[in-house]
Amino acid sequence: MAIYNTLPGSTFGNESGTSMASPVTAGVAAVLKAYFPKLSAADLKRIIMQSARVHHTKVQVPGTEKLVDFSTLSVTGGVVDMYEAVKLAQKASLQTN
């Protein structure tokens, strides 16, 4: 799945892969930790993974020409969803207080 992002040379464009997904996921973790500081690293991981929205889109397997369902390429089969992550974090923080 393509992520619209900044690119070298002061441009923007669509890229994919862990080089694009990792900063987005780290950003979600940072926002959650900022708003819900009592969440542990394990809580953050669980919330981010549970918040993932599954996308059934055909994508190329890295390094090949083969097309597969995006949901088969990762543990969650999805893309992180900040809104869902915040809702889960709110629920988790209410349960711990």
pLDDT digit string (tens) for 6-58? Answer: 888 999 998 877 777 888 899 999 999 999 999 999 999 999 999 999 878 88
Q: Which amino acid, residue 95?
A: Q
pLDDT of residue 65: 92
pLDDT of residue 97: 60
Rounded average pLDDT over 59-88: 89
pTM across the whole model:
0.77
pLDDT of residue 89: 96
> DSSP letter string over 5-40?
EEETTTEEEEE-SHHHHHHHHHHHHHHHHHH-TT--
Rounded average pLDDT over 50-79: 87
Q: State the Rg of the chain over Cα.
A: 15
